[in-house]
Amino acid sequence: MTFNVTIIGSNSAVPAHGRHPSAQVVNVHDYLFLVDCGEGTQMRFHEHQVKWNRIKQIFISHLHGDHYFGLVGLISTYHLLQRNKPLDIYGPEGLEAIIRLQLEAGHTTLCYPLQFHVIDTTVSKVIFEDKGVEVMTIPLHHRIPCAGFLFREKFEGRKVDKEKLAALQLPLHLIPPIKHGEDITDPHTGRIIPNKELTVPHPPARSYAYCSDTAYSETVIECVKGVDLVYHDCTFDKASEARAAATFHGTTEQAARVADAAGASQLLIGHFSARFENLDTLLEEARAIFPATELATEGSVFDVGVKAPHTAYN
């Protein structure tokens, strides 16, 4: 089942070198979630062929503009395109007032329900859940209240063993009751087949953690333990550690240490400072510590749970 992340914007506050402010689309079982929404995100959806009309939940990490200045425009465009399904926005205190003030200034009464959910950025807590995914906050260590988001897929019951059904020549109409956990009467032999014989456990649930913006934090490591894919703030290179600390951002080395200590399978680095036109050094520095590192650059799509090789950091 699909579980991937499309990078819409990879840069930190000042757009530069063709890179844009933060935004990502997380696809879990074909449900799309938007994570952060920097200026111009709606224009970028077109570029990257994102089916953005399918987004129903948006998660905003914090109220620095490079993470949400595109939100009011997206909300307006949904209105102009006559959206009718609800839009749920999860973000820090203050976001709703900012959006509502702008809608009021334009005398805009939205044609769809817009619901805001204030998140507590200081705790790790489930803030959204449906049958296929749960989303938890990750307390980040930044200049202003800021949370990351952990997406973990969920499965209900067990998975139908299609090979077994084929071997027993069971008709297709039996699939729904089997999915619902029922035992089945074999139409050929009259034998009652226990559900467990026709199903297998789902594969382990995969997970993706979005950690931007943040200084190096042990709390983050705890929250993302065992995650398959982790995205971590990597605004700076190793040499700029003091600058990173002063601005509550991460370096290549710190991002890699977090991924390693958390036992993640793969690391994405992003939120690059405009001072780095070329990102090769950043990638090399992170890979020196955590080889399974990739640059989260615009348009890249990363499958969650693809086990890239990785070597422990000493």
Pairing of strands 147-153, 159-160: unpaired
Q: Does 73 bind a copy of itself (CB under 8 A)?
A: yes
Pick the binder of a copy of itself from 4, 29, 56, 69 (CB under 8 A).
69
To the nearest whole angstrom, how small is the minimum distance from the Cβ of residue 227 to a copy of itself? 28
Options 37-45, 48-56, 111-119, 283-291: segment touching a copy of itself (CB under 8 A): 37-45
To the nearest whole angstrom, how small is the minimum distance from the Cβ of residue 92 to a copy of itself? 8
Pick the binder of a copy of itself from 1, 53, 54, 65 (CB under 8 A).
65
If the CB atoms of residues 15 and 291 are measured against a copy of itself, the closer one turns out to be 15
Q: Does 305 bind a copy of itself (CB under 8 A)?
A: no
Catalytic, 66? Answer yes
Residues in contact with a copy of itself, counted by CB under 8 A, come to a total of 32
Active-site hit among 66, 228, 233, 260: 66
Pick the binder of a copy of itself from 106, 187, 194, 203 (CB under 8 A).
106
Site for a copy of itself in 135-174 (CB under 8 A): 143-144
Options 58-66, 150-158, 182-190, 213-221: segment touching a copy of itself (CB under 8 A): 58-66
To the nearest whole angstrom, how small is the minimum distance from the Cβ of residue 246 to a copy of itself? 14
Q: CA triplet 107, 110, 112: central angle to 5 degrees? A: 175
If the CB atoms of residues 94 and 201 are measured against a copy of itself, the closer one turns out to be 94
Residues belonging to the chain: 314
Options 13-21, 131-139, 157-165, 291-299: segment touching a copy of itself (CB under 8 A): 13-21
The torsion angle over the Cα atoms of residues 78, 83, 88 and 94, rounded to 10 degrees, is 40
Report the alpha-carbon distance of residue 30 to residue 164 in Å, rounded.
Answer: 27
If the CB atoms of residues 43 and 306 are measured against a copy of itself, the closer one turns out to be 43
274 φ/ψ sector (left φ>0, alpha ψ -120 to 50, else beta): alpha
What lies within 8 Å, CB to CB, of 189 at 6+ separation is none
Structure tokens at 56: 């129903």
Q: Does 102 bind a copy of itself (CB under 8 A)?
A: yes
Residues with catalytic roles = 66
Where do contacts with a copy of itself occur on this chain (CB under 8 A)? Answer: 13-15, 20, 39-40, 42-43, 46, 63-66, 69-70, 72-73, 76-77, 80-81, 94-95, 97-98, 101-102, 105-107, 143-144
